[in-house]
């Protein structure tokens, strides 16, 4: 386990864990106790490298705490001799939202991390002169690129303190102060910077990943940076699987082509390749594939399938919809399931519904993300409960109930109570009616 402040101790802790032949499990003290308990228990964490003040509120656990402070060897000669790591040894476990109510730990091995870092060194390309500002919390896998890729070429990593990562003027100032040459961020963070008045930095390349890059944002970034890259990939295939340098203001924005040792298949329901231009699901194969979901062979078998094109290989079923352009680039078209991204956070509404349904006053629920503007996407929970329910009492109670079970970014901004779901003629939930109906209207029509 790792639970340290964003400081020099962070890369030191992560590198120390890897060097000892262990895998890291990032633990965020702001997570609900029961989630932390699930993660620590499921992965059988033996040690937690932690700043002690951060783990005071942790649920009871049997792990030993190791302080990162002063534990580094002063002289490279002091470094203990440790057994070399194997490529199939786990490097980290990262938890992502789970549609059936329980988050799942993605187990990624050294081979996949080495493949990503080696590939990124060539494209977009990193050199010893590069200085990268690392802003991503380590519970997200794109932090792996930030913290490790520059170090592998002798470049420099500047670790941004947590407060800076949400403060546009401070971030803009840090880009100048540290002569940053590469910044990786999600579209939400890029928009935050631009909304804060950032005029750009001509000596810096902009890497955008984790979520769809809109043409509008791409244009703004191209006029402010030395170059712009769109990077795509799920946690399950190790940070990024495809990338594209955005060279024009005209679009379409694509996710480009696969990185090294990576295969992208666009397959129909029978797992047959589709022609160019036909939308189909993205399957990913190659060295980036995670070992699977930690301790969840059922779920692993569901998403990691035998690769029909490479004997003995596996492929990951992403749930992303895309099509090939005639030149071989891939255009991402959205999701085939309910998964959403809000400010870069990957969210399965099913996990929130599961938490809501565990409350005794709830008879059913549906959660969706409503986009008011790209910067204002809110989770709305429609909750079916007894018609005479006291809304002023139940809504705060539901909010607390959900906050105890899911991370803060998954707690719905809005709760709309209903006596029953409005249905279409064929018996499905009528989303149009649901969205427009307020609590009183919904209860009145259903009575
Ligand atoms: P995560 O596991 O948090 O990295 O989320 C992975 C999912 O985010 C992908 O399956 C996509 O749905 C979405 N995603 C990530 N990067 C991009 C991108 N560049 N363009 C469009 N969608 C993206």
CA pair distance 316, 271, nearest whole angstrom: 12
Please state the atom number of ligand 1 nearest to the C-alpha of residue 282: 10
**Which range among 197-206, 245-254, 366-375 shows the weakest confidence by mean pLDDT?**
366-375
Residue 73 CA to ligand 1 centre (angstroms): 38
Q: What is the pLDDT of residue 333?
A: 98
Between 84 and 248, name the one with better pLDDT: 248
Give me the residue label for tokens 């910044």.
183
At 442, which helix (H) or strand (E)? Answer: helix 439-446
Q: Where are the alpha helices (DSSP H) in 180-296?
A: 187-195, 215-222
Q: Tell me the mean pLDDT in the region 129-140.
A: 97
Sign of CA dihedral 142, 146, 151, 154: positive
Whether 355 has a pLDDT exceeding 70, the answer reads yes
Whether 169 has a pLDDT exceeding 80, the answer reads yes
Q: How confident is the model at residue 74 (pLDDT cuts 50, 70, 90)?
A: low
Mutation to probe ligand 1, out of 233, 244, 339 (largest number of atoms < 8 A from CB): 233
Which pLDDT tens digit goes with each residue over 107-133? 999 999 999 999 999 999 999 999 999
Q: CB-based burial of residue 287 (10 Å sphere; 0-12 exposed, 13-18 middle, 19+ buried)?
A: buried
Taken as a whole, the chain contains a residue count of 447
Listed in sequence order, the residues at least 6 apart from 96 whose beta carbon sits closer than 8 Å to its beta carbon are: 103, 104, 106, 235, 346
Q: Provide φ and ψ at 409, rounded to 5°.
A: -70, -10
Q: Whose CA is nearest to atom 12 of ligand 1?
A: 320
- 255 in contact with ligand 1, CB cutoff 6 A: yes
Q: Tell me the mean pLDDT in the region 293-303.
A: 97
Q: Tell me the mean pLDDT in the region 22-42.
A: 95
CA pair distance 223, 333, nearest whole angstrom: 25
Q: What is the pLDDT of residue 273?
A: 98
Q: Where are the alpha helices (DSSP H) in 251-313?
A: 297-303
Q: What is the pLDDT of residue 447?
A: 34
Residue 198 CA to ligand 1 centre (angstroms): 25
- 181 in contact with ligand 1, CB cutoff 6 A: no
* Strand extents, DSSP E, 218-335: 225-232, 242-245, 257-258, 262-267, 280-286, 292-293, 304-306, 314-324, 330-335
Q: How confident is the model at residue 93 (pLDDT cuts 50, 70, 90)?
A: very high
Q: How confident is the model at residue 2 (pLDDT cuts 50, 70, 90)?
A: very high
- 123 in contact with ligand 1, CB cutoff 6 A: no
Q: What is the pLDDT of residue 83?
A: 72
Q: Tell me the mean pLDDT in the region 64-71.
A: 81
Q: How confident is the model at residue 14 (pLDDT cuts 50, 70, 90)?
A: very high
Residue 319 CA to ligand 1 centre (angstroms): 10
Please state the atom number of ligand 1 nearest to the C-alpha of residue 334: 12
Q: How confident is the model at residue 415 (pLDDT cuts 50, 70, 90)?
A: very high
- 343 in contact with ligand 1, CB cutoff 6 A: no
Is residue 384 within 8 Å of 398, Cβ to Cβ?
A: no
What's the mean pLDDT when you consider all of the chain? Answer: 93
Whether 444 has a pLDDT exceeding 50, the answer reads no
Whether 441 has a pLDDT exceeding 70, the answer reads no
Q: Whose CA is nearest to atom 7 of ligand 1?
A: 234
- 329 in contact with ligand 1, CB cutoff 6 A: no
Q: For residue 312, is it left (φ>0), alpha (ψ between -120 and 50) or beta?
A: left
- 258 in contact with ligand 1, CB cutoff 6 A: no
Give me the residue label for tokens 């993300």.
369
Question: How much of the chain exceeds pLDDT 90, in percent?
Answer: 87
User: Taking the model in full, what pTM does it have?
Assistant: 0.94
- 318 in contact with ligand 1, CB cutoff 6 A: yes
- 422 in contact with ligand 1, CB cutoff 6 A: no
Q: How confident is the model at residue 403 (pLDDT cuts 50, 70, 90)?
A: very high
Residue 287 CA to ligand 1 centre (angstroms): 18
- 320 in contact with ligand 1, CB cutoff 6 A: yes
CA pair distance 168, 181, nearest whole angstrom: 17
Residue 210 CA to ligand 1 centre (angstroms): 5
Is residue 257 within 8 Å of 324, Cβ to Cβ?
A: no
Whether 246 has a pLDDT exceeding 50, the answer reads yes
CA pair distance 227, 205, nearest whole angstrom: 5
Between 305 and 100, name the one with better pLDDT: 305
CA pair distance 307, 319, nearest whole angstrom: 16
Whether 374 has a pLDDT exceeding 90, the answer reads no
Q: Whose CA is nearest to atom 23 of ligand 1?
A: 211
- 143 in contact with ligand 1, CB cutoff 6 A: no
Residue 366 CA to ligand 1 centre (angstroms): 23
Q: What is the pLDDT of residue 73?
A: 53
Residue 334 CA to ligand 1 centre (angstroms): 9
| CB-CB neighbours of 441 under 10 Å | 12
- 212 in contact with ligand 1, CB cutoff 6 A: yes
- 331 in contact with ligand 1, CB cutoff 6 A: no
Listed in sequence order, the residues at least 6 apart from 105 whose beta carbon sits closer than 8 Å to its beta carbon are: 25, 39, 42, 43, 93, 94, 95, 293, 294, 295, 296
- 389 in contact with ligand 1, CB cutoff 6 A: no
**Which range among 45-59, 76-90, 312-326 shows the weakest confidence by mean pLDDT?**
76-90
Q: Tell me the mean pLDDT in the region 92-100.
A: 95
- 346 in contact with ligand 1, CB cutoff 6 A: yes
């Amino acid at each position: 386990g790792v639970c340290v402040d964003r400081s020099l101790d962070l890369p030191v802790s992560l590198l120390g864990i890897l060097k000892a032949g262990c895998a890291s499990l990032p633990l965020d003290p702001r997570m609900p106790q029961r989630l932390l308990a699930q993660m620590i228990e499921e992965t059988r964490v033996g040690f937690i490298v932690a700043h002690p003040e951060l783990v005071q509120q942790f649920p009871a656990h049997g792990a030993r705490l190791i302080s990162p402070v002063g534990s580094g060897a002063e002289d490279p000669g002091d470094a203990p001799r440790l057994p070399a790591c194997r490529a199939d040894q786990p490097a980290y476990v990262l938890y992502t939202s789970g549609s059936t109510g329980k988050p799942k730990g993605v187990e990624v091995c050294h081979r996949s991390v080495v493949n990503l870092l080696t590939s990124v060194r060539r494209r977009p390309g990193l050199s010893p002169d590069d200085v990268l500002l690392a802003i991503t919390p380590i519970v997200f896998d794109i932090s792996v690129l930030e913290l490790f890729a520059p170090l592998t070429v002798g470049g420099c990593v500047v670790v941004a303190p947590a407060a800076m990562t949400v403060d546009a003027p401070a971030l803009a100032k840090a880009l100048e102060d540290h002569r940053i040459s590469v910044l990786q961020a999600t579209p939400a963070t890029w928009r935050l910077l631009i909304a804060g008045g950032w005029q750009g930095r001509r000596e810096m390349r902009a890497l955008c990943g984790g979520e769809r890059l809109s043409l509008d944002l791409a244009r703004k970034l191209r006029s402010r940076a030395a170059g712009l890259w769109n990077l795509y990939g799920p946690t399950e295939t190790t940070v990024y699987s495809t990338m594209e340098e955005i060279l024009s203001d005209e679009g379409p924005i694509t996710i480009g082509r696969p990185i090294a040792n990576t295969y992208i298949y666009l397959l129909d329901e029978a797992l047959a390749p589709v022609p160019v231009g036909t939308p189909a699901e993205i399957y990913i194969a190659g060295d980036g594939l995670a070992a699977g979901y930690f301790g969840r062979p059922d779920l692993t078998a569901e998403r990691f399938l035998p690769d029909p094109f490479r004997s003995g290989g596996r492929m990951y079923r992403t749930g992303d919809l895309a099509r090939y352009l005639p030149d071989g680039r891939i255009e991402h078209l959205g999701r085939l399931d309910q998964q959403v991204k809000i400010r870069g956070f990957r969210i399965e509404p099913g996990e929130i519904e599961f938490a809501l349904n565990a409350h005794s006053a709830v008879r059913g629920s549906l959660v969706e993300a409503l986009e008011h503007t790209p910067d204002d996407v809110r989770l709305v929970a429609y909750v079916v409960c007894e018609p005479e329910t006291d809304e002023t009492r139940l809504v705060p109670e539901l909010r607390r109930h959900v906050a105890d079970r899911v991370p803060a970014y998954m707690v719905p901004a809005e709760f709309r109570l209903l006596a029953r779901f409005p249905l279409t003629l064929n018996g499905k939930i009528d989303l149009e009616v649901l969205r427009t109906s307020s609590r009183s209207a919904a209860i009145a029509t259903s009575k």
